[in-house]
Amino acid sequence: MQIILKLTTACNLNCVYCSEGDVESKTLPKEIFFKLVDEFPAVLEQNQSKDAEFLFHGGEPLLYGRDNLKILIDYAREHLKNYNVRFLMQSNGTLIDEDWINFFKAENISVGISLDGYSELHDKNRRTKDNEPTAEKVLQNLKLMREAGLNSGTLMVLNSAEEIDIDKLFNFICENKLQPKIHSVIPCGRAANRKDSAEVYDAWIEIMKKLFEKSLAEDVPKIIQPLDEMMD
């Protein structure tokens, strides 16, 4: 069973379609996490499960800090000794450095990185609060993680109402050895006022069909979700 934990609503980016929107910055109190861990065994037993997964989310979860995160992880491991405990994280990837990489390795944290396609697509929507592009930094940090022996999945949110070069997107995925989950932008947060959801979802379906056709034509191994799940 997986529990998604929003460690903080704070973020260092200003993404156009941020699902959090413009909310007040808040941080998860440690006491709430402790209470969750204490009560988790009852839920697991009821569901006849021995798997306890914690997915650290945000905002940007790295802003929660390594020391604070270490406290949560140690508490969970200590109080869930009889269960298979795993830790995952979804990050925008811009703040990752050698210290964080060492932390991920030491604590055995699987990290997913948000990367919304090739640079022009990504940088159109995922920029810093000073309106600076971020794609180059994210790709650079992905490379650092791989060099350290950490394989990371990527989460792509595509604003499929925009023009997307399918060939360029597919080549970008292959050339950077990505294993993305591709979602469409949804009308919530900063995108809450969008009125084109039907068009966005229809366009997303067409994009996924074209990517699937290309993966078959070029005999590329399974790399793109949810296409692979559907085929399985």
Instruction: Find the DSSP H helices in the chain.
Output: 30-46, 66-79, 98-107, 119-125, 135-147, 166-175, 197-217, 227-231
53 contacts 86 by C-beta, under 8 angstroms: yes
| Per-residue pLDDT, 162 | 87
| Per-residue pLDDT, 3 | 95
| Per-residue pLDDT, 191 | 79
| Per-residue pLDDT, 24 | 85
Residue 54's H or E segment, with its range, is strand 51-57
| Per-residue pLDDT, 166 | 96
Q: How many CB atoms lie within 10 A of CB 37?
A: 20
**CA–CA separation, 113 vs 111, rounded Å?**
7
| Per-residue pLDDT, 20 | 79
Question: How many distinct helices (H) and strands (E) make up the chain?
Answer: 8, 6
Question: SS3 of 49, please?
Answer: coil
Tokens describing residue 182: 């591709």
203 contacts 161 by C-beta, under 8 angstroms: yes
Q: What does the pLDDT look like over 36-56, one tens digit per residue?
A: 999 999 999 999 999 999 999
Question: Does 149 sit behind a cis peptide bond, omega within 30 degrees of 0 on the bond before it?
Answer: no
Residues of the chain with pLDDT under 50: none
| Per-residue pLDDT, 5 | 97
150 contacts 141 by C-beta, under 8 angstroms: no
